[in-house]
Amino acid sequence: MPGRVVFGVRPVEELCRARPRSVAVVYVAEGHRSREIDQVVAVARDRAIAVEIRPRAMVAGLAGEGTHQGIVAVAGDYRYAEVAEMLAAAGGEPPLLLLLDGITDPQNFGALVRSAEVLGAHGVIIPDAHAAPVTGGVVKASAGATERMRIARVSHLLRTIDGLRDGGIRVLGAAAERGEPLPSADLRGPTAFVIGAEGRGMREAVARRCDGLLRIPQRGQVASLNASVAGALMLYEASRQRGTPVSGE
């Protein structure tokens, strides 16, 4: 079987729209019909992607433990981007990147990618060890944002940070209790945020490589915010400072 299975209505639709050439076939489970599925089928067929009806058990088996909503897509291996592609994609804007240090939970990874895509980041960078890769579960958690966001997988995160800094990008790490308050930081220039693993945060070696640390002021008593929430807040503040239009405003 080709590299991966993407499941769920929204993720399959985004995959078909953004990377149609990577999709081998879309399977719809017998007895599953809805307006949302019909729309995905129309998108797939419009892009010359084969759509086939298959037994529910087969579709469920392909999705594994994931909630498939009656539809899966069989696709090739995920194509990771290069960091240089992200910087080029920024064009005339100051680059805005998100680096993940040790995020192994697919739900957190997917949520962070979704926030990055929604809030205008130019790329997400992950290490190739001790980190969740892009799987069907990550695609589902991101609501398909993985198919539109540039994601780079690097062999050495510390060297990547050094390279970004040498290129004039300010690297700022998320810290629970130390560092500059997020609202006080100037995030209008080239910026890369580093989000550490749930619970332990960034590795100390990564924190030392950063140009500075940021903390999110809190009023409650809980020790710290979830990694994906912290990342979303930092990205939102950068987007707000840059005057990026937000839907509904």
Q: What is the pLDDT of residues 182-196, one digit of tens each?
A: 999 999 999 999 999
**Is the confidence at residue 45, as pLDDT, over 90?**
yes
Q: Where in the chain is the domain with CATH 3.40.1280.10?
A: 83-241
Q: Where in the chain is the domain with CATH 3.30.1330.30?
A: 4-75
Residue 179 pLDDT class (50, 70, 90 cuts): confident
Average pLDDT over residues 70-85: 93
**Is the confidence at residue 84, as pLDDT, over 80?**
yes
Average pLDDT over residues 104-132: 94
**Is the confidence at residue 98, as pLDDT, over 90?**
yes
Residue 223 pLDDT class (50, 70, 90 cuts): low
Q: pTM of the full predicted structure?
A: 0.88
**83-241, which class in CATH?**
alpha beta
**Is the confidence at residue 158, as pLDDT, over 90?**
yes
Question: What topology is assigned to 4-75 in CATH?
Answer: 60s Ribosomal Protein L30; Chain: A; (3.30.1330)
Residue 51 bridge partners (DSSP): 26
Q: What would you report as the CA-atom Rg of the chain, rounded to the nearest whole angstrom? A: 19
DSSP states along the chain: --SEEEESHHHHHHHHHH-GGGEEEEEEETT---HHHHHHHHHHHHTT--EEEE-HHHHHHHHTTS--TTEEEEE----PBPHHHHHHHTTTSPPEEEEEES---HHHHHHHHHHHHHTT-SEEEEESSSS----HHHHHHTTTGGGTS-EEEES-HHHHHHHHHHTTPEEEEE-SSSSEEGGGS--SSSEEEEEEBTTTBS-HHHHHHSSEEEE----SSSS---HHHHHHHHHHHHHHHTT---TT-
